[in-house]
Amino acid sequence: MRTRDFVLTMLLSACALFSAFASGGVSSSAASLSLTFVEAHFDIGLVSATSVAVSPDGNHVYVASYYNHAVAVLSVDEETGKLTFVEMQQDDRDGVDGLSGASSVAISPDGNHVYVAGKIDDAVVVFSRNSVTGALTFVEMQQDNAGGVFDLDGATSVVLSSGGEHVYVASEYDNAVLIFSRNA
């Protein structure tokens, strides 16, 4: 097929698809998607919010804050989506360690644990989560060059596998992705 014929075929296909869509022959939820601004939160003391995660039950939002070296917990109004401050867990307070440069936050699929990457501390921090209040309790920190962990310099992003068996952490300065298994 010559280039001109290929382009003509693609244009005709696009026109047929558009025609079918316009006449209702093709439905798309993406075509009806729109965003409506609800509110912005400045009153929770976060400086440089870097990552947001929503609990699987939809009742709480967790926000990593790079310069506060913290993770904030907010409750969600199920009707309006508006947020209310619950608490903030900060590095070097109440036994919490590893949150310096908090850059990413993730929640386990079962909603029982929250994970935060601490870029400056070269760490991933584990919290247990109260499913009713959303409050966090420090469990542990896994840090670069400690306890058999290596290549975690500049922990930038944290995610969990879909089944929650593994935690993956991106290391910016070691150019690596680390894999941790969960025994939860």
Q: Write down the pLDDT at residue 38.
A: 87
Using the structure block, give the residue that is written with the tokens 């840090």.
143
Question: How do residues 36-87 score in pLDDT, each as one tens digit?
Answer: 998 887 767 788 999 999 999 999 999 999 999 999 999 999 999 999 999 9
pLDDT at 100 exceeding the cut of 60: yes
Q: Write down the pLDDT at residue 10.
A: 36
User: Are residue 90 and residue 149 in the same domain, yes or no?
Assistant: yes
User: Are residue 11 and residue 92 in the same domain, yes or no?
Assistant: no
The verdict on residue 124 lying in a domain is yes
User: Are residue 7 and residue 89 in the same domain, yes or no?
Assistant: no
pLDDT at 19 exceeding the cut of 60: no
Domain count, the chain: 2
User: Are residue 27 and residue 61 in the same domain, yes or no?
Assistant: no
User: Are residue 28 and residue 62 in the same domain, yes or no?
Assistant: no
The first and second tokens of residue 124, run together, are 């991933």
* Residue 128's CATH number: 2.130.10.10
The verdict on residue 43 lying in a domain is no
Question: How do residues 160-183 score in pLDDT, each as one tens digit?
Answer: 999 999 999 999 999 999 999 998
Which residues span the domain enclosing 160? 49-181
The verdict on residue 142 lying in a domain is yes
The verdict on residue 17 lying in a domain is yes
Nearest CA among 61, 109, 112 for reference residue 88: 61
Question: How do residues 110-158 score in pLDDT, each as one tens digit?
Answer: 999 999 999 999 999 999 999 999 999 999 999 999 999 999 999 999 9
User: Are residue 24 and residue 89 in the same domain, yes or no?
Assistant: no
Nearest CA among 86, 167, 173 for reference residue 126: 167
> Where does the pLDDT of residue 30 fall: very low under 50, low under 70, confident under 90, or very high at 90 and above?
low
> Where does the pLDDT of residue 33 fall: very low under 50, low under 70, confident under 90, or very high at 90 and above?
confident
Q: How far is CA 14 from CA 10, 31, 175, in A?
A: 6, 16, 41
The verdict on residue 15 lying in a domain is yes
Q: How far is CA 161 from CA 137, 180, 183, in A?
A: 22, 10, 13
User: Are residue 91 and residue 173 in the same domain, yes or no?
Assistant: yes
pLDDT at 14 exceeding the cut of 50: no
